[in-house]
Every structure is written in C-alpha cells, then in structure tokens.
C-alpha cells in the first residue's frame, strides 16, 4: 500500500540522461547487419585473392581480383565490344526500368483486382499460373519471332518475368486484409471506392513493395537472357560476347557491375519501404 | 428507437451441419438507454451485434432503426470492436476523423472535431501519435472517439473492455458513462462480466447458448445513480446490487433447456 501512496521525488524525476529502451524485437527488425556483411565481403575477396595468387585454379577460369580491377578500369576507359561501359550500363538500366514500370503499372492494379473480384480472378488466374513458372529462355525464341530483334522484345521478356511476382504479391496483400478493418470502415460510412483507397491499398502496400523487390531481382537475373537477342549494348550482352572469347576477366567485370546495381536497387527499395510503410509489423 | 424483432440466425458449419446461433431474439433500445447483453461464450452475443451493425443478414426476423430496416453497415450505427481496428498508417487524430473523411468533411473541421473527441475520452495531446505508441486502453478510447465522430444514432460495443486490466476497465466504464450522460447516445453493449452488466446497463438481457436466445431481462438504474452521484462504492455495496448479481449468476450457470423464457422483471 505504501508503494502506491509514497511520493518519492527521486523516482518521479527522470535522471539527466535516461537510458532509452525499446521492445525486444523478434527476428531482425532493423538490427545493424552492415558491419557483418562488410566483413563477409572482405573474407570472400581475400579467399578469392589467395586462390588466384597461389594458382589453385588456372587464371583462365578464375582471374584474380587485381586483374579484374585492371580490366574494369580499362573497360571504363576504352569501352568494350564497341560501346563504353556507361553505354552498356545505361542500355541495361533503361530496359530494366522500363520493364519494371510496365510490370508494376499492369501487375499492381491487376493483382488488386484479382484479390477483390471474382471475374478478374477467374479470367486471369489460368494464364498467369500457366506462364509464370516457364523459364524466360524457353519463350525467348517466340519473343524474337513475334516481336523482332529490337528493344521491344527485350523489354517484353523482362516485363513478363517481373510481372508475375508483382501481381501475385498484390493479390496476397488483398487476401491478408483483416475483415474487421473493412467492417470498421463500412460502419463509418465508407463507400466501396473509399474502402479501396483508404483500407485495401495501404493494407496491401507492404506486400506490394515486397513483390516489387522480388520482381526487380528477377529482372536482373533475366537480363542476360534478354540481351541474347541481337543486342549491341547492355551489360548482359557484354558478358555474352566476352564469353565467346573466353575473356573471363571481362565476364567478372560484368557480373560485378550487375551485382553493384542490383544491390543499389535493393537498398533503394528498402529505403522506399521504410518511408512508405513505417508501421510494417507493428500492429 | 432500435427494434430487433424475432431475430434468428443459422450458420452453416464446416461439416455440413447447421449452427443455430440466435433464436428469435427481440430487443428494443430506446433513447438514453444502455442495453447490455450478457452471457457465456458462444451464446450469440456477437452474432446479434453483427446483425444490428449490418455485417450479417438475418435468417429470419427484422431489425429497424427509427422505423427503417437495417440492411447494411452505415454511419448511423457506430461500432467499437473488441480488438482495436485502428489503422496503423494514420495518426490518432486521422483515425478518429476517419468517418468524417468518408463523409467529405474538410480537413480543418475534421481536425477540430477529432481534438474535441479526444478531449472527451481523456486523450488530449495524443492527436499526432500513431496507434502503436498507445496502450491497449488508450487505443480502445480512440476506438470509442472514432465511433462517436460521425454522431451515430447508436453505439454498438462488442466486449470493448474485455482485454483490459480491471483498473483500466473501471476507468473506461466511468468514462463511457460520462460520454453517455453527456451525449445521450443509445448504447448496445456486450460483456460476459455480470458486474459490468449491472453497473452499465439500464437494461440487461441475459442470453443462453445452443440455441442463442434471450432468457432474462432486467431493468436497472445503477448507471443513472452513478451518473448523478458518482459514487461507485455505494452502488457496488448496495444490497440490491448483490441480490441481482446472485440472481443473474444463477441464470447464467443454470443448465439450459428449451423451456419457456424466464422473464425476470424486478423493479
Ligand atoms: N461465421 C460463423 N460460422 C459458423 N458458426 C458461427 C459463426 N460465427 C459464430 N458462429 C457460432 O455461433 C455461435 C454464437 O457465436 P457468437 O460469436 O455470437 O458468440 P458470443 O456470444 O459472441 O461468444 P463470445 O463471448 O465468446 O464472443 C457459436 O456457437 C459459434 O460457434
Ligand atoms: Mg463475441
């Protein structure tokens, strides 16, 4: 009883620099992983260096880091296969961006519609479920026959690869919507459109962003296939043409460039997520 | 007046059988009254409330609000849910004003009204917090403010304080009585605490399960007494309170049979 009634000033006044605490998270929840990742990268590069240095693998198969770096600088300076490094990179970026834009602006609305509407789900389920497990290389010849060897066939190929994850995740986002939230909005007088705008869309947003992230990842991994189609520019093209001459170091440069850009994209998406859905996992 | 007349609900169960969740329930909720539905788990309380809210169509019977049949959810019936359903991406004030936004009220006016309502439920200064920065009891208060924002004709509350500790619960009960006394709203309130039912209800209906039906009805005035005198202790220690408590306890714990309805009307 005395605990309740006692007014102990030292308890009530906070210390000058209070120790700030927060809930123990489950999983990672923003814990710093960057130093660990950096250390891992250093270890991997070190191992690579040692393997190459002591000729455990012939240099034709595995050039050392110094050689790759030298080749990178050379390509950055003089270009490779008739185009500068930036021309290769920008050609690939343009394709990926365009495809991501098209895939998102078709896939998100369609996915939401499929989560909400019987007809949309019924009509589009079969074609999407049918095409999306197919490897892009399998329908590549069709793209060439139907759409020719220009930019269009490359972008369509990438779009098809990115579309499915975006569309499926938007659907999943709608399905995960708790019915109480909808009921609460209905009893506050919301119209169907208001429910969609104020409840469905924000509720599905975390899943949509995850889908976009996966989609862009799939896009990068389809890039080389897309640039098999009579390209003269592009990182994927650069890798393919280097492989014809067994220029392993150039292949490594290409892989490195793709990895760096893919990482940057992924990081950007994470920032976007932190900005758009700061509440994720909190309620 | 809200009138529930012979409302019955049958649910299809998974195995193909039929669950008789509500059996010919009749209920009037007048102006200035708090009707409390009390009963064991699974006796159809939420089913009744969902039907009144318009989330659930009736198998049989009718529900009318001021003479007009209830068919779908609407802003004339504010609902406070057991689990809070605040939107995590909106601030507390935006959550409170959600119904006003749906009604097309301009932003400045919404903000004013939200702050006014937050004051009413004792949350001044929390307008710009996010829901996950609030405690369970505070969120429930935001839920009440949100339901009041559109000025509904009736407030429907499904075990709104069920998840709260007893101290907060008492505070919330008193807060609800204040809100009721000040706004004169009709309230339909679900609980499985006999004490809460006695304290809050101007009418208490006791329900029994399988099939869910109303088995007893009591007209009370403890809540009016509290609103006038604000003395909890006098109410809880009054012999009438203890008497009714035991009587209701007996009904709730009595083995149920499909006999004629017991209509207790002590008054
Ligand atoms: N959607 C549904 N489908 C099938 N049966 C249901 C459904 N909803 C409720 N029921 C059944 O109807 C009966 C009444 O349920 P209801 O939710 O109204 O109970 P309750 O009185 O609110 O219980 P509690 O106090 O536990 O919330 C229960 O037997 C339940 O199993
Ligand atoms: Mg219930």
The answer to whether residue B267 scores a pLDDT higher than 70 is no
Touching check for B73 and chain A: CB below 8 Å? yes
Instruction: Tally Cβ neighbours within 10 Å of residue B71.
Output: 10
> Between helices A151-175 and A201-226, what is the axis angle to 10°?
150
CB contact residues (below 8 A), chain B span 175-234, against chain A:
none
Handedness of CA A57, A60, A61, A65 (dihedral sign): positive
Integer angstrom CA distances of residue A266 from A22, A35, A94, A103, A273: 27, 18, 17, 17, 11
- Which of B51, B53, B73 best tests the A interface by mutation, with the highest count of A CBs <10 A? B73
For residues B156 and A202, give the distance between their C-alpha atoms in angstroms, rounded to a whole number: 26
Hey, whose CA ends up nearest to atom 7 of ligand 1? B11
For residues B255 and A41, give the distance between their C-alpha atoms in angstroms, rounded to a whole number: 70
User: How remote is the C-alpha of A94 from its chain's centroid?
Assistant: 16
Angle (nearest 5°) at CA B59 between B54 and B60: 100
Looking at per-residue confidence, does A206 or B232 come out higher?
A206
For residue B105, the chain A residues in CB contact (below 8 A) are none
Instruction: Tally Cβ neighbours within 10 Å of residue B215.
Output: 21
> Between helices A201-226 and A136-147, what is the axis angle to 10°?
80
Q: Cα(first)–Cα(last) distance of chain A, in Å?
A: 36
Residue B44 Cα to ligand 2 middle (Å): 7
The answer to whether residue A4 scores a pLDDT higher than 60 is no
For residues A25 and B161, give the distance between their C-alpha atoms in angstroms, rounded to a whole number: 27
Residue B212 Cα to ligand 2 middle (Å): 12
Overall residue count recorded for chain B in this entry: 267
The answer to whether residue A2 scores a pLDDT higher than 50 is no
For residues A267 and B180, give the distance between their C-alpha atoms in angstroms, rounded to a whole number: 52
Give the ipTM of the model, two decimals please: 0.84
Classify residue A19 by its DSSP letter.
P
> What integer pLDDT is reported at residue A123 of this predicted model?
93
Alpha-carbon Rg for chain A in angstroms: 26
Across A28-49, average pLDDT:
86
Helix, strand, or coil (residue B69): strand
Query: Mind listing the pLDDT tens digit for each residue in A63-89?
Result: 888 888 998 999 888 888 888 889 999
Query: Mind listing the pLDDT tens digit for each residue in B149-191?
Result: 988 989 999 988 887 788 878 888 888 898 888 888 899 999 9
- Name residue B213's beta-bridge partners: B208
> What integer pLDDT is reported at residue A11 of this predicted model?
53
> What integer pLDDT is reported at residue A283 of this predicted model?
58
CB contact residues (below 8 A), chain A span 188-207, against chain B:
188-191, 194, 198-199, 202
Average pLDDT for chain A: 86
Q: Which residue of B has its CA nearest to A281?
A: B88
> What integer pLDDT is reported at residue B260 of this predicted model?
44
Query: Mind listing the pLDDT tens digit for each residue in A205-226?
Result: 999 999 999 999 899 888 888 8
Residue A250 structure tokens: 């150039």
- Name residue B189's beta-bridge partners: B36, B157
The answer to whether residue B258 scores a pLDDT higher than 90 is no
Angle (nearest 5°) at CA A69 between A63 and A70: 90
Query: Mind listing the pLDDT tens digit for each residue in A104-163?
Result: 999 999 999 999 988 999 999 999 988 888 888 888 888 889 988 888 988 999 999 999
The answer to whether residue A174 scores a pLDDT higher than 80 is yes
Touching check for B88 and chain A: CB below 8 Å? yes
For residues A65 and A125, give the distance between their C-alpha atoms in angstroms, rounded to a whole number: 47
Give residues with Cβ within 8 angstroms of B208, minimum separation 6.
B39, B40, B43, B215, B251, B252, B254, B256
For residue B150, the chain A residues in CB contact (below 8 A) are 188-189
The answer to whether residue B211 scores a pLDDT higher than 90 is no
A183 to B79: CB separation less than 8 angstroms, yes or no: yes
For residue A277, the chain B residues in CB contact (below 8 A) are 89
> Between helices A151-175 and A85-116, what is the axis angle to 10°?
40
Find out whether B144 and B121 touch, Cβ atoms under 8 Å: yes
Touching check for B160 and chain A: CB below 8 Å? no
Touching check for B132 and chain A: CB below 8 Å? yes
């Amino acid at each position: 009883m005395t605990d309740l009634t006692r007014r102990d000033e030292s308890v009530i006044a906070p210390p000058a620099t209070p120790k700030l605490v927060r809930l123990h998270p489950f999983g990672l929840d923003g814990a710093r992983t960057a130093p660990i990742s950096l250390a891992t990268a250093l270890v991997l590069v070190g191992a690579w260096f040692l393997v190459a240095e002591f000729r455990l693998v012939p240099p034709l198969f595995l050039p050392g880091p110094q050689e790759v770096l030298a080749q990178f600088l050379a390509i950055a300076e003089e270009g490779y296969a008739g185009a500068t490094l930036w021309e290769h990179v920008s050609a690939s970026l343009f394709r990926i961006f365009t495809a991501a834009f098209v895939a998102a602006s078709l896939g998100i609305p369609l996915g939401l519609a499929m989560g909400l509407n019987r007809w949309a789900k019924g009509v589009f389920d079969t074609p999407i479920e049918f095409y999306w497990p197919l490897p892009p290389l399998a329908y590549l010849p069709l793209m060439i026959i139907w759409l020719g060897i220009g930019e269009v066939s490359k972008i369509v190929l990438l779009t098809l690869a990115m579309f499915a994850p975006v569309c499926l995740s938007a659907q999943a986002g709608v399905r995960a919507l708790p019915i109480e939230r909808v009921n609460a909005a209905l009893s506050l007088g919301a119209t169907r459109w208001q429910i969609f705008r104020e409840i469905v869309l924000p509720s599905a947003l975390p899943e949509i962003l995850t889908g976009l992230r996966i989609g862009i990842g799939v896009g990068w991994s389809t890039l080389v296939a897309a640039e098999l189609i009579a390209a003269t520019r592009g990182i994927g093209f650069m890798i393919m043409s280097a492989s014809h001459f067994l220029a392993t170091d150039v292949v490594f440069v290409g892989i490195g460039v793709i990895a760096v850009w893919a990482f940057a994209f992924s990081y950007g998406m994470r920032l976007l997520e932190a900005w758009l859905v700061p509440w994720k996992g909190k309620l | 007046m809200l009138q529930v007349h012979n409302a019955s609900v049958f649910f299809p169960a998974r195995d193909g059988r039929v669950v008789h969740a509500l059996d010919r329930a009749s209920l009037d909720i007048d102006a200035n009254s708090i009707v409390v539905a009390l009963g064991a788990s699974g006796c159809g309380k939420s089913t009744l409330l969902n039907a009144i809210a318009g989330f659930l169509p009736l198998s049989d019977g009718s529900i009318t609000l001021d003479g007009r049949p209830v068919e779908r959810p609407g802003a004339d019936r504010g609902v406070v849910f057991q689990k809070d359903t605040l939107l995590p991406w909106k601030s507390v004030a935006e959550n409170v004003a959600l119904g006003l936004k749906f009604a097309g009220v301009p932003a400045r006016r919404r903000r004013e009204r939200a702050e006014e309502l937050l004051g009413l439920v004792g949350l001044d200064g929390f307008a710009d917090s996010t829901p996950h920065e609030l405690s369970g009891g505070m969120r429930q208060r935001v839920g009440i403010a949100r339901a009041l924002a559109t000025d509904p004709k009736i407030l429907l509350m499904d075990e709104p304080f069920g998840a709260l500790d007893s101290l907060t619960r008492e505070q919330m009960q008193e807060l609800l009585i204040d809100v009721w006394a000040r706004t004169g709203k009709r309230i339909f309130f679900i609980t499985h605490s006999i004490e809460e039912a006695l304290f809050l209800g101007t009418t208490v209906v006791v329900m029994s399960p399988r099939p869910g039906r109303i088995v007893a009805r009591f007209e009370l005035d403890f809540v009016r007494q509290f609103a006038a005198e604000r003395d909890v202790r006098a109410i809880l220690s009054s012999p009438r309170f203890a008497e009714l408590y035991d009587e209701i306890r007996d009904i709730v714990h009595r083995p149920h049979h499909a006999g004629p309805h017991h209509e207790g009307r002590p008054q």
